[in-house]
Structure 1
Amino acid sequence: MKPDTFSCFVQGVSLLNILLAEDDIRLGELIAYMLKKKGGYQVEWVTQGDDALAYALQAHFDILILDWMLPGEDGVRVASRLRQQGYNGAILMLTARDALQDRIEGLDSGADDYLVKPFEIEELLARLRALARRNFAPIQEQIVQIHSITVNLTNRTVHDGEKEIHLTPREYQLLELLIRNKGQVLSREVIFERIWGLNSDVSMKTIDATIKLLRKKLNGETEMIQSIRGVGYKLDD
């Protein structure tokens, strides 16, 4: 993903890591494409409410763009459950419902903003910039130490001692997924779905290639990321 979401800035706001939950395939593709092209943002796209809930809890996203009418858990329920579990990221609700009571229900469920369909992409981008200017960051940094590697999950940096390790967005997402599920074996299918998404056209071999590159950047910490033959990978300290 370019530009590099770890170091670039747009109009004074650091580039965002966004989770998009939209079940309309054509609209979802359009929003994801425009956010990447016009905003330069990193975007993960899911189509199910259950997936939106799982992704938001397992990885760091600056903003969740959440459609109200999702299959499985609807957007209002997802927002409510996230807030109950302490989720502190920004939530922007998308919906065709424009009645006052609907807007109140959406905001009371835990959404920070509300955008009625149809909308212009420029308005969506402006609302994202406004949300990004607010402080949704946790007060205390989340820092994980594994072997000689230090991972700051709050500012998404990785160090080996004093030396910073520069990871691509996919490499970092993969490392964070393993960290948040430390000690658990993650199948290659689960990793593929969480990092690349079911609609991705890359092959499953991409997982192995990314793991290989990640291990190399982590100074050959092969014991840190263990291969479970025939299943997948796990992180163990």
Structure 2
Amino acid sequence: MKILVLEDDKTTGPYIAEGLREEGHSVDLFANGADGLVQAMVGSYDVLVVDRMMPGLDGISLVKTLRGAKNRTPVLFLTAMGGVDDRIEGLNAGGDDYLIKPFAFGELSARINALGRRPQMAEEPTILRARDLELNLLTRKVTRAGKSIDLLPREFALLEVLLRRKGRVQTRTMLLESVWDIHFDPQTNVVETHVSRLRAKVDKPFDVDLIETLRGSGYRIDAA
């Protein structure tokens, strides 16, 4: 497995890395949380071993940032903070396991191997596309043909639903539930109004219309 160890203790970090390498794993070791976050984001790791107290960025903030970016790599917290509330905080932050220092290397290795055997969830895309239209879920930016498009929050949410379900017809009822969390028909034209506004920004300035109306059915963005 490819493992990232984030541990600032000058003895513990190299000890863990050496032991895991002896077991045949590929290991990267970082002592700074900010540097470790960058590495975790760009590297393709099977398991992360994360100390809670590190310079640059603490382990809890690091894992929360990863989970917010849809990074699902299993995380084992390895820390001296062993109180019940500490463990709860770590797991609620997105940790998959929690091991308290001092620890036995054999147990650490077994826990890492167990996390590595878990089936990985497919990572959700961070950019949704249809032809030359792009919606970035992380930066909340929308562009078409390289030109920035400013959308209001509901317009953004509406476009996100249409792109996530690209090629599939979305009825008025489905859009009311997904975008407005309305589970009944309020007898308003809120969907039609927002689709019209979205078209004015996403389609009208360009040569090809992406948002289709299927009379009597609903709306869709063609998957082609």
Q: Which category of TM-score, normalised to the shorter sequence, fits these structures? A: 0.5 to 0.7
Q: 1:102 to 1:51 in 2, by over 3 A?
A: same
Deviation at 1:137, TM superposition (A): 4.6
Match of 1:134 in 2: 118
Of 11, 29, 46 in structure 2, the residue corresponding to residue 26 of structure 1 is: 11
Aligned mates of 1:23, 1:136 — CA distance in 2: 28
Match of 1:87 in 2: 71
Whichever residue aligns with residue 57 of structure 1, its letter is M
Could you give the per-residue CA deviations for residues 63-118 of structure 1, whole angstroms, max 9, x where no partner exists?
Answer: 01000001111000000010000001100001101110000000011100000000
Q: Which runs of 4 or more aligned residues in structure 1 lie more than 6 Å from their structure 2 counterparts after TM superposition?
A: none
Q: RMSD in angstroms over aligned alpha carbons?
A: 1.5
Number of paired residues?
125
Deviation at 1:133, TM superposition (A): 1.4
Match of 2:36 in 1: 52
Pairwise mapping of residues 3-18 of structure 1 onto structure 2 (< 5 A)?
16-18=1-3
Match of 1:40 in 2: 24
Match of 1:109 in 2: 93
Structure 2: gaps spanning 5 or more residues? 126-224
Contact between 2:72 and 2:123, CA under 8 Å: does it hold in 1?
Answer: no
Structure 1: gaps spanning 5 or more residues? 1-15, 142-237
Match of 1:74 in 2: 58
1:121 aligns with 2:113: no
Deviation at 1:136, TM superposition (A): 1.9
Pairwise mapping of residues 79-228 of structure 1 onto structure 2 (< 5 A)?
79-138=63-122
Aligned mates of 1:95, 1:34 — CA distance in 2: 18
Match of 2:186 in 1: none
What fraction of aligned residue pairs are identical, expressed as a percent?
41
User: Counterpart of 1:25 in 2: which secondary structure?
Assistant: coil
Match of 1:232 in 2: none
Could you give the per-residue CA deviations for residues 134-164 of structure 1, whole angstroms, max 9, x where no partner exists?
Answer: 11252689xxxxxxxxxxxxxxxxxxxxxxx
Rg larger in 1 or in 2?
2
Aligned mates of 1:125, 1:91 — CA distance in 2: 13
Deviation at 1:130, TM superposition (A): 0.9
Higher relative contact order (CA 8 A, sep 6+): 1
